Amino acid sequence: MPQAAGRMIVVSDTSAITALLQISRADLFLQLYGEVLIPVAVRDELLATHAQLPPFLQVRTVNDAAEVYRLERELDLGEAEALALAKQYHADLLLIDELRGRKIAQREGIPFIGLMGVLLQGKQTGRIASVRPVVAELEKVAGFRVSTAVKEIVFRNAGEP
């Protein structure tokens, strides 16, 4: 199912969505990407900790169970389904933060971005005023962890030394 012309196809695993839901900033995904596709396993993981999901999250079933099984030997079910769904839809971006998942996405030829990259896009497109306070809130409220080195790079690229 192709998207409307000009719209990016974005697939996400659980971590980036749940982190922004915890600080009431999930609308950033809507502002940047329109809808975001999630596999059934990610929906189930999200619903375990969130009463309801934003309507821009569109649940899709992965058609290739063998692909999910193959990926699940290295990843949890949500990540495996997210990678398989990204391949199925020829996604422009996979939202994933876990290092192992990112390495496998790279190996599989799937373009990816992490939550820090999303925040940087938000700053660059004027959808968030400053990355620093959002990162601080993610760390305090959502328990989000990212290395100091990565934060420094993102802050520098956001023009927030």
pLDDT tens column, 105-136: 999 999 999 999 999 999 999 999 999 999 99
CATH class of the 10-157 domain in this structure: alpha beta
Q: What angle do CA 33, 26, 106 make, to 5 degrees?
A: 55
What's the pTM? Answer: 0.92
What pLDDT is recorded for position 3? 40
Contact assessment for residue 131 and residue 120, using Cβ atoms and an 8 Å cutoff? yes
What pLDDT is recorded for position 156? 96
- Give the residue ranges of the chain where pLDDT is below 70: 1-6
| Axis crossing angle, helix 131-141 with helix 115-124, rounded to the nearest 10 | 150
H-helix segments, the chain: 14-22, 27-33, 40-47, 65-72, 77-88, 99-107, 115-124, 131-141, 148-157
What pLDDT is recorded for position 6? 52
